[in-house]
Structure 1
């Protein structure tokens, strides 16, 4: 995902990159949910604010920040983002320990650490100096780390909506998350940080 995104950033900024790829998915899911489960499936059943928070963690905090950070880092950005993503199981363990007081089994912790070390060797191809040099650019690295934490929060929060079908939860998540992302991208455009995407760029598979 990240090497492809890095290539796409030569033609489109990370903000519109995120918005376009999820706009398309959201439209498809809305029609599917309407067809399969009807209008009643679009009711939030009192979970609107919670869903909006968790979806913002996924579609704004994760998706925009991780690609923004990758773009700011340039060529090493794909490697840094990939390694940060490999931290997700470890971050999950820490958050569950802090928030829910759930202490993981020792075997689970060992497996997560071994898996992370293995992922680092695969992603970095032994170039640890290159990774450390890339992460010395602190602001983009922090953006990517915050993005990863945002996705972990989203996945943990998803357990609150077990009564919904996978299609319903996915559609409502995409719908609210994309609306929030649209607001963020609109503000970024209005203040002049990003420009409106022109549709003369070549077609990319953005998801």
Structure 2
């Protein structure tokens, strides 16, 4: 791997993390017009169409693999796109963008705990220390100790809902190993296609029960700019850029860049004139330290095994 490819990979990862930081700000704008259920339908319908175009341009699409693994791919898509997409934005509707970004950054640590549960790989002592530090950081950012944002509104419930949603994305990511014959673009596209019927069903049921409201054409038109950003940049291009960076640098080094998602979100908030309070800054720094230590320890373990 030469310096050019290494720098290209790092720039790709920086682009992805910056895009994901902006995703929460754009999502907050969309939620002013479209509820989380129908927003998820619109988001992944657009993403699936764009991904299909990219896949078709590559040629030789292996549709037989979609038919062979359709049930598993559909369930994984519903966890990744449905559970994650809906719950995170329900949480965001009761919270603020910087909190959502920080909660997203805890996924590597949640993954560590899930590996212990499902694979019986018990974390070492340093891992428990990292988990404790990160959880304390999340509690500071989420306002658990004072319970309110600068506007006096509690974000605890919203942040907890968003955190539960991230478990769906972790399950979706872990599921790739069970269909390893698929390329990254095939896995991403096939799961998006097969998740759409379920996403529509969720939205219809939620609407019938009164938890969601089908958006009027005027609401969708008003939300077009942030929706375009979320679909094209925050969903499709960011995922492809992140996967490209990880393929070049490796997962151990690539995952460190997730630490920059909350930083990106906070910087965007500052640029918009909404300065973070002291607990948000301290909490974000603690999570960054925790995740960096985890990635560093994992990197040393990989080197020792080589």
The aligned counterpart of 1:147 is: 165
| Correspondence list, 1:157-196, <5 A | 157-196=175-214
| Correspondence list, 1:96-115, <5 A | 96-104=115-123
Shift of 1:46: 3.3
Count matched residues: 200
Shift of 1:146: 1.6
**Ranges in structure 2 where 5+ consecutive residues have no aligned partner:** 1-22, 231-306
Please say if residues 54 and 153 of structure 1, whose CA atoms lie closer than 8 Å, have aligned partners that are also in contact: yes
Shift of 1:120: 7.9
Normalised by the length of structure 2, the TM-score is 0.56
Distance in 2 (alpha carbons) for counterparts of 1:156 and 1:131: 34
Normalised by the length of structure 1, the TM-score is 0.79
* 1:84 and 2:103 are equivalent in the alignment: yes
Distance in 2 (alpha carbons) for counterparts of 1:184 and 1:175: 15
Shift of 1:136: 4.1
Distance in 2 (alpha carbons) for counterparts of 1:115 and 1:81: 14
State the secondary structure of the residue aligned to 2:217.
coil
The aligned counterpart of 1:134 is: 154
Considering only aligned residues, what root-mean-square deviation do their CA atoms show, in Å? 3.0
**Ranges in structure 1 where 5+ consecutive residues have no aligned partner:** none
The aligned counterpart of 1:33 is: 55
* 1:19 and 2:36 are equivalent in the alignment: no
Please say if residues 86 and 119 of structure 1, whose CA atoms lie closer than 8 Å, have aligned partners that are also in contact: no
Please say if residues 103 and 138 of structure 2, whose CA atoms lie closer than 8 Å, have aligned partners that are also in contact: no
State the secondary structure of the residue aligned to 2:205.
helix
